[in-house]
Structure 1
Amino acid sequence: MDRLLLLIMAASGLSAVSSAAGRQYYFVYDRKNFTEAQRYCRERHTDLVSVDHMEVMKILNTTADLDQMFYSKNSYRAWIGLSGNSWRWSLSDPGFYKPGETDFRRWGSGEPNNGYSEKVCTWIRIDGYWVDDSCDRKLAFPVCSEVRGSNVTFVLVNSSSMTWTGAQNYCRTRYTDLASVRNMADHQKIQGMLSVGYFWIGLFRDPWKWSDGSSSSFSFWKTGQPDVNNGNQTCVAADFSQSGAWEGWPCDMERAFICYGPGEWYGPGEWYDPGEWYGP
């Protein structure tokens, strides 16, 4: 049986909390992975919680029941609605990749090392190792791919340096897309073509996003987080043993989570707090 704790509704009269008309927050202590938690919140409420101010974290900290979040390891954590899209290829056709081929990487030492505040794209050095960088930097030439059935031809374009988006548009207009490097064979073909300069390939990563599509510059990361060197930590949990500070975790881990939904508002400065346990 699901056990929900209805928290406190933050009203628009308390503008430090939320610009929305009002919200109710729900802790769900039945453990689910991020995708399952997201589905649950969308079906029963609005979505996984988004946090746009420290006052929201204070509300969640005040009401979190740590006893309900005790696990065999990594206790006291609950999913919030923040996630960072994993690395993806510009050529998104799933039929183009065999199992595991979307995960092939040849990062250079210390790479990737960019944060999650902006879209990040990938170029190849002369030695064949990969570097993540801002997609807006006009510093590299495109490596395009021409795909015809099972035949793939790589085309190195070294006429002028471009941004990653410019390189993507160039390749899509004249060929199929920016190059996807699916395996060591693809990598060796491309490396054998490289000359002086840097070369964009199709690998990119979007920044952190809230599940409900909202935007906010507020963050509450734990020291050392997010770990830009661990590409598997793409979903975010709040650690309520550390004041709710945020950590990146693999999305398939199961833990408690927090939903939100529309709340009643009784006027500026007034609160709605039933403080009741209930379940289906």
Structure 2
Amino acid sequence: MTLRSVDLRKEPVEAVLDRVERMLGVRLDRETVVRKRRSVGARTDRETWVRIERRGLDRIGVQGGDGTASAEALRGIAKPAWLAGVAWRDEAEPVIWRADETGLLPGAPVGSAVVAKDPGLAEEWWASLNASLEALAAQCTNRIATPDTETLTQELVTATIHSVFPGIDTAVTDWRPAHADLNWANVTAPVFCVFDWEDWGMAPRGLDAANLWAASLAVPPLADRVRTERRNDLASRDGKLMMLFVAAKVLGPYADPDDPRLALARKTAEQMVQELQAG
């Protein structure tokens, strides 16, 4: 059976919301529903949040689809507490639906995934980001990160980088736990909190920092701030590879010619190529 390409911002989801209410024993506030491409979320009548995701069976992988629940074992990270979860197989398509109930966020998301203006974050925010990423890197897990639901392997790193920057030695030597989808839509302010943990797992050092940097490229001072705050990761060899990895996604064959990130992504990538080739 072929899996349909679905955007949940456009699909009817009432039946899914009704089913989640029955399975979790909650009532979802329809006025608070947030719809994204592959997930839907809403506030509940017991002052919690429920996030519902649609994921194809071919994207479940060996680690399953329980990223948010398994992240509850992580310590020292500013994130919402996981409370309950349910999952079911779609009756008509090769799809798993999963709903996770968590505590409410301490603030609103900073912005969309990619920001167009500086959010003016406080020093305490950056300190909490750094503390959380350092704590995450020190954890142990057998999970493998799945950015964009694709299992992150050495082969994927190589293929993505070489699609734009051929000839680079892409061998990764330092794999660490990562959120794997760190962007401005998945962190809150003014109090820092990182959420949407469905794709976390082992990844090359610097992936999270590189993702946040790429999401900031339309605001050069913000991109510079990310590089400064996460300089230890991004100055490492694997960190430079991750900057090329995310830059390749910005600059690749499907790049938007009007994307304001293109110029800085290209300039920085050229610098990374030179540094990596110089050893």
Q: Same fold (TM over 0.5)?
A: no
Greater C-alpha radius of gyration: 1
Q: Which structure dedicates a bigger proportion of its chain to helix?
A: 2
Indicate the TM-score class for this superposition, using the shorter chain for normalisation: under 0.3
- Larger RCO (CA within 8 A; separation ≥ 6): 1
TM-score (norm 1): 0.21
TM-score (norm 2): 0.21
